[in-house]
Structures are given as C-alpha cells and as structure tokens.
Amino acid sequence: MTSRAFIAGCLGTSLTADERAFFRDAKPWGFIVFKRNTQSPEQVAALTAEMRETVGWHAPILIDQEGGRVQRMGPPNWPKYPSARAFLAINDPIRQREIVRLSARLMAHDLRQVGIDVDCLPVLDVPVAGSHDVIGDRAYAHDPDQVARLGRAAAEGLIAGGVLPVVKHMPGHGRARADSHHDLPIVDASLEELRVHDFRPFRHLADMPMAMTAHLVFTALDAKNPATISRKIVREIMRGELGFDGLIMTDDISMKALSGSFEAKSRAAIRAGVDVILHCHGIMDEMIAVAGAVPEMTGARARRAAAALGRIRHEPEPVDLESARAEIAAALALSA
C-alpha cells in the first residue's frame, strides 16, 4: 500500500496497540516526535524503530529541535542548544555562520542517534517591531539577508549530519501579531513589503528539500484564506514567485488559527497545493479524520518526497563531538 499524505504523532513513549493498528492500516508518510515522547535515548530509538515497523519502510521521522525554547530533546539526556538569536552575539559574520552550522551539525548527530532524520529547522521568519513573540528569539535576526545566510548555515549543518531541514514558516510568520497556535494572525503588509522583507529568506533558500506553511492571512494576497489553505499563496507565491519545488507540509493542522473540522482543513490544504498534512497531537479521532481526507503519495508529491529524502541517504560528515561542543561554548562565551 502506498503511504498517505500525512505525518502523525503518538501520545506516549511507546506505541499503544491501537496506534500500531492504525498506523499499519493508514500508512502515514511520516511521523513526528515531541517532548512527551522522549524519555531517554534508548527509549526514543526504540520508539522510532517501532513507528517504522508499523508502516514497513524507513519512513521519515520529524522533530522540532531548534534550540532555545523550542527543543524537544533536552537535558539531562541531550545537550542544551542556544536559540537562533543567541548567535547574533558573535560579531564576526564568518565565525557566526560557522558556529550556526556546527551547532546544527551536532543537533543532527543527536537526532540520528535515536532514529530521527528530519528537523523542522531553520526558522526563516523575520520579525518586525510589534510582532508577537511566538517567533521572537527563534529568528536569527531582523534583517532578511542575515536570516537567509544563517538559515542556510543551519540547513547545511543538518544535511551534513544526515538530517533533512524543513524551512519554516513559508511565506513568512515574522509580522504575526498573534500566536497562530491560538488565534488567526492577519498581516496587512503590502505585496511589495512582503517581497523585500518576509519573502526574501525563502527565495534565497528555495533549493531546500522541505518547507512548512504559515497559518496566517496575508490580506494583500488572499484576504479570506490563511496561507496553508490558500491556492493562490501555495501555487502562485510559494511555487511560483518563491520558486520552491520541494515538499510542502502544513504547520500543525490542529492549531487554532485554522477553523473547521479536521477533514475540511486537511482537504482545503491539499486542494490549495500542499503535499502533506502535519498532525502533531496523537489524538486518535483526529488522526483518523485526517487520514480519511488525504490522498496517497503519488504523482508530483511522491516525486518531491523522494527527492527530499534522497538528500539525506548518505553517511554523515565526520565530526569530533567533544571539540565541536567546546568550540561553540567558547565562541558564545567570548561574545557575551
């Protein structure tokens, strides 16, 4: 059976009998792991192996491992990583880029050790004055070109470590004045403002293998529909103007910014041109609804999925873990 176009989570540190049965039948294209699913390295490795066993292939397994306040695997079992904004303290731009790449390379090592091969990083959003702190220090800078430069460094570090990056939140979450986990942000910036500011990092990284959408309304583009379910934004902006030909996944379809049933939201995103629906919470009734609303991974979405996964099917670049961690700590300490 061909995989279906959704990514699913689970409730605990191992799969229940109901979860195993559902995944075997529904065949999600991938899985996502959250803090609730991470107890120890041995347990996470067993969980990711169990997830893949249910679908019968080496399905991608995702995580949000950014560093700072968004880090699903952290102390005491895994190192604490700096936020994106913390790297701005390094004054030398070349050194700054090197340390961002090295930090991502080390995160990739941690993830690969437990069977996780996709990281929802880098954040390419560019905050503006007055925007909600849901992005805040998760952003590398307030300058679009600096965000692009450091975002690419992070993506390169992940790929070198055999982990797939996901650029987010396309076409830009930096102007949001509300948290899309709870409310629908409305962005009234002009198309020209969006082009020179919000869109720039995504245009610079249009060669990346995967992207995650933003649950925002851009009134200059589509005054009615959030980007995730806007045919105009997905097809004309993301695919057209930004030139992104990689796999596009939604942000979590459970977020309150999107209204309607899970079937309706999932179908709307697929109609808009999104490739894969992301459902994070592991709630069975919701997962069943999403699975019933999405197509199989065939045609262009299958091509994009295969091309994305092909970027990480290699041996990771060698790294000296101890010296790399010391180098990052020293660079940030000297800049403090």
What's the gap between Cα 46 and its chain centre? 23
Q: Residue 251 is inside which H or E element, if any?
A: strand 247-252
Residue 181 annotated as catalytic: yes
Q: Is 239 exposed, middle or buried (0-12, 13-18, 19+ CB in 10 A)?
A: middle
**Number of other CB atoms surrounding residue 134 within 10 Å:** 17
Which candidate, 287, 250, 304, places its Cα nearest to that of 25?
287
Annotated catalytic residue: which of 64, 117, 119, 251? Answer: 251
Of 126, 88, 261, nearest to 205 by C-alpha is 126
Catalytic residue among 181, 182, 188, 314: 181
Residue 117 φ/ψ, nearest 5 degrees: -130, 15
Distance in angstroms (rounded) separating the CA atoms of residues 134 and 125: 11
How many residues are there in the chain? 336
Write phi, then psi, for 277 (nearest 5 degrees): -95, 135
Question: Cα–Cα distance between 131 and 109 in angstroms, integer?
Answer: 33
Q: How far is CA 186 from CA 53, 101, 237, in A?
A: 42, 33, 17
Q: In whole angstroms, what is the distance from residue 45 CA to residue 172 CA?
A: 33
- Cα–Cα distance measured from residue 181 to residue 186, given in angstroms and rounded to the nearest whole number: 14
Answer yes or no: 204 catalytic. Answer: no
Question: What ranges in the chain are assigned the alpha helix state H?
Answer: 17-26, 41-55, 93-113, 144-160, 191-193, 200-204, 231, 262-272, 284-293, 299-310, 321-335
Residue 46 CB-density burial (10 A; 0-12 exposed, 13-18 middle, 19+ buried): middle
Active site residues: 181, 251
